[in-house]
Amino acid sequence: MRTKLGVLGYPLGHTLSPVMHNAALKAMGRDELEYVKIEKDYHELQAAIEEIKRDFIGINVTIPYKEKIMPWVQEVSYEARIAGAINTITIKDGRMIGTNTDGLGYLRSLREKDIQVDGKDILIMGAGGAARGVATALLGAGANRIDVCNRKKNRGKSLMDILSAVGNAKSSWIDFKALMRTDISRYHLIINTTPVGMHPRGSEKLPFPYEELEKHQVLSDLIYRPRLTGFLQEGKDRGLKVVDGLDMLLYQGAESLAIWLGTEPPIDVMRESLLEALRGE
Ligand code: NAP
């Protein structure tokens, strides 16, 4: 009988997913199930996938396999296809079915703080896997404009192409080098999807025209370790609403569990387990 859930990635030292999922499984009385780390280097991947198909109900996929896992997956959801990345796989009749809950998880984290995106102009910094999931979800939620600022033009443009293929949002690419000279006043929501400021280099701060920020704007960072990045601290110091990455982590995980188990998991238990794990950091 398949009794495992887990997270596939390499390295996985940092992951909080087992803590959060195991707390939920326990609270749901699903003692027969266990959520484990599947820490595999690329050359071990084929063997790991055989084991996953045999023993697992479902897995999360994280760095560096969100895009690389595609060839092993037999069915890909709309969300994963447009994001070009998979973070959740369900195993059914020996087949791997991939989807992406990052975007939905992010939207739920905004909703938690009463932040509207419908009709709003949004700036996304970074154009990687997480940015794609978030940007396409924001577009689906009715954003008016999504501008993308990153270093590598081809990556930024490829996200622009995805956005224009998915919907009618206005969008433009901003060169990272021009960010300090960019007029940021039009943006309701500004999101950092780069890893700048992430543990253990928490003192690093994204170069950004912080002096131009206004109180009605919202700053969001996908990083959850530390919860208050230098980027968010700048916003907080100026009285802006800020959203860290913890609720996105929570809700993308809750969405995955709901897919695997067919029922909504206990959000409060999951959140408390994350807060407990981060306490003292
Ligand atoms: P990724 O695919 O590697 O993309 C990273 C992006 O950041 C790229 O666009 C890259 O720019 C940019 N970047 C990297 N270093 C930079 C630097 N020093 N200066 C400026 N830009 C830089 O990574 P990802 O999977 O999207 O993850 C990004 C972040 O989101 C990570 O911190 C991750 O932990 C976080 N995340 C959080 C959650 C959550 O649940 N809270 C979920 C997923 C991801 P170029 O395109 O120019 O190379």
Mutate to test the pocket of ligand 1, among 104, 193, 199, 205 (most ligand atoms within 8 A of CB): 193
Instruction: Say how far apart CA 156 and CA 78 lie, in whole Å.
Output: 21
Instruction: Say how far apart CA 21 and CA 24 lie, in whole Å.
Output: 5
Residues 220 and 264 in one domain: no
Q: Give residue 130 CA to ligand 1 midpoint distance, Å.
A: 7
For atom 43 of ligand 1, which residue has the closest CA? 130
Residues 94 and 111 in one domain: no
Residues 120 and 231 in one domain: yes
Q: What is the DSSP letter of 2?
A: -
- Secondary element (H or E) of residue 272: helix 267-278
Instruction: Say how far apart CA 141 and CA 243 lie, in whole Å.
Output: 18
Tokens 């703080």, located at residue = 113
What's the pLDDT at 262? Answer: 97
Domain that holds residue 232: 103-244
Residues 51 and 91 in one domain: yes
What's the pLDDT at 281? Answer: 74
Mutate to test the pocket of ligand 1, among 20, 151, 180, 270 (most ligand atoms within 8 A of CB): 151
Question: Could you tell me if the CB of 131 is within 6 A of ligand 1?
Answer: yes
Instruction: Say how far apart CA 56 and CA 7 lie, in whole Å.
Output: 11
In this structure, what token pair is assigned to residue 150? 């990153």
Q: What is the pLDDT of residues 8-48, one digit of tens each?
A: 999 998 799 999 999 999 999 999 999 999 999 999 999 99
| Shortest-distance atom of ligand 1 to CA 127 | 9
Residues 140 and 199 in one domain: yes
Residue type, 183: D
Catalytic residue selected from 53, 66, 113, 152: 66
Residues 48 and 118 in one domain: no
Residue type, 171: S
Task: Note whether 132 and 162 are within 8 A (CB).
Answer: yes
Angle of helix 129-140 versus helix 102-112 axis, rounded to 10: 60
State the CB neighbour count (10 A cutoff) for residue 202: 15
Residues 231 and 262 in one domain: no
Q: Give residue 184 CA to ligand 1 midpoint distance, Å.
A: 21
Question: Could you tell me if the CB of 267 is within 6 A of ligand 1?
Answer: no
What's the pLDDT at 202? Answer: 67
Residues 9 and 61 in one domain: yes
Residues 56 and 141 in one domain: no
Question: Could you tell me if the CB of 152 is within 6 A of ligand 1?
Answer: yes
Residues 139 and 52 in one domain: no
Tokens 């689906």, located at residue = 140
* CATH number for the domain harbouring residue 91: 3.40.50.10860
Instruction: Say how far apart CA 246 and CA 13 lie, in whole Å.
Output: 17
Query: What is the maximal distance between C-alpha atoms in the chain?
Result: 59
CA distances from 276 to 14, 15, 271 (A): 15, 14, 9
Q: What is the pLDDT of residues 61-99, one digit of tens each?
A: 998 999 999 999 999 999 999 888 999 999 999 999 999
* CATH number for the domain harbouring residue 209: 3.40.50.720
Tokens 């950004």, located at residue = 208
Residues 95 and 162 in one domain: no
Instruction: Say how far apart CA 197 and CA 90 lie, in whole Å.
Output: 33
Question: Could you tell me if the CB of 177 is within 6 A of ligand 1?
Answer: no
* Catalytic-residue membership of 66: yes
Burial readout 183-198 (b: 16 or more C-beta within 10 A, e: otherwise): ebeebbbbbbbbebbb
Q: What is the DSSP letter of 69?
A: T
State the CB neighbour count (10 A cutoff) for residue 42: 10
pTM to 2 decimal places: 0.95
Residues 110 and 77 in one domain: no
Q: Per the structure, how many domains does the chain have?
A: 2
Residues of the chain with pLDDT under 50: none
